[in-house]
Amino acid sequence: MPTVTELQLFAVDLPFKTAFRHAAAARTTSESLFLRMALDSGVDGWGEALPRAYVSGESRHDAFALLRDQVLPALVGRGFQSLAEVVSFLEKCDGKAPSDWVPPDVPQTSAWCCVDLALLDAFGREFGSSASPGGQPSGGALERYRYSGVVSAGRGWPYAKSLLKMRAYGFPQVKLKLGEDGALQAARTARRLLGRRVDLRVDANMAWDVDQALEVIQQLRTVGIESFEQPIAADDLSGLARLVRESSAGIVVDEGLTDRESLQAFISQQACTGANVRISKCGGLVGAYARCREALDAGLMLQVGCQVGESSLLSAAHLSLLSALASLRPGVRYAEGCFGRHLLREDPASPLVQFGYGGRPPPRPSGAGLGVQIDQAMLVRWAVDQAKVT
């Protein structure tokens, strides 16, 4: 039975081609974690996550320490007889480490994403199967999807130039990152430059309070915007429920949606009409798949998003998730991800997994596991911390 023998953890700052800004953060590097998992057979696999304290409650420093000191030592010596057994283990974990490894109330879903992907990649390679959240290779057609363009907060000519790039690239859907001030003018500019046919939506990243949100939502609906992602604080469920009742607009939750309990709280309090599920914040591919199915079962609009700065490793997992969801109805409304070198100056994963003209998805990598190779020398070049557990 193949067994985990060694784990290497890298905290890596992959540089962006341009700064990315929104109401909750501004960054010029990815601030990533990468995990290499080696098996006694000589096979290895990789995981990736991008912890964000304002999303899952985990800073990268905290996630690194949690993995190094508690999670990875418990993985050494663990073996699986099939990829299906790996998936079954991950389904029982449900996006978090086993409770005897880490107390379930400790923020950990982003850290666990590294483990989830590394297990699927390593044991997928070991058994010659592609990684899939359902345990079986998923063949859903990716051609039905189109990735959204995303425009970060800004104003003036740089903002207009970003919008014109979205138009030139033929995106049918564009998401605007709007802040506390100037939302209506920014939206009007976007509508004027993108045209009426583009499906335009807004992500406020918790920029407003409830009263501000109600006012701005009504203003933005005059320019044909109907979907509003995380307009107020993620923990203000009563405020979100008020927005659902009083605005009659689409209210999408993102920050704060990490695990089964958080999603069920939003659903039970009718605090949203849509959910943004991201692999990195929801405990990996298997946990994200479970959250997607639960959101669809509750009648929510589903968006499958990404963390800014994901490499082609997480993008390959993103395609696996979309493929697994392709047969479900009503399915995924919006997809965000597969930015690759559209954003990153260097991508350590190959083949490059990034969207094409009009947001068309790339093909899924054809190899076993997640199907990509990692340039470890590139990770070391951009690493700010490393650890090895044996």
Residues 6+ apart with CB under 8 A from 246: 214
The pLDDT assigned to 50 comes to 98
Using alpha carbons, list the distances in angstroms from residue 243 to 21, 249, 253. Answer: 25, 8, 12
Q: What is the CA radius of gyration of the chain?
A: 20
Q: Which residues contact 158 (CB under 8 A, 6 or more apart)?
A: none
pLDDT in tens, the chain (390 residues): 999 999 999 999 999 998 776 655 678 999 999 999 999 999 999 999 999 999 999 999 999 999 999 999 999 999 999 999 999 999 999 999 999 999 999 999 999 999 999 999 999 999 999 999 976 655 568 988 999 999 987 789 999 999 999 999 999 999 999 988 899 999 999 999 999 999 999 999 999 999 999 999 999 999 999 999 999 999 999 999 999 999 999 999 999 999 999 999 999 999 999 999 999 999 999 999 999 999 999 999 999 999 999 999 999 999 999 999 998 889 999 999 999 999 999 999 999 999 999 999 999 999 999 999 999 999 999 999 999 999
Contacts of 241 (CB under 8 A, 6+ apart): 269, 270, 271
C-alpha dist (Å) from residue 55 to 97, 206, 259 = 18, 11, 12
Both structure tokens of 46: 């990789």
CA angle 103, 105, 111 (to 5 degrees): 75
- pLDDT score at 140: 66
CA distance 373 to 351: 7
Quick count: other Cβ atoms within 10 Å of Cβ 137?
15
Q: How far apart are CA 219 and CA 69, in angstroms?
A: 50
The CA distance from 269 to 237, in Å, is 7
Question: What are phi and psi for residue 250, nearest 5 degrees?
Answer: -75, 120
Q: Are 49 and 280 in contact (CB under 8 A)?
A: yes
Give the model's pLDDT for residue 137: 59
pTM for this structure?
0.96
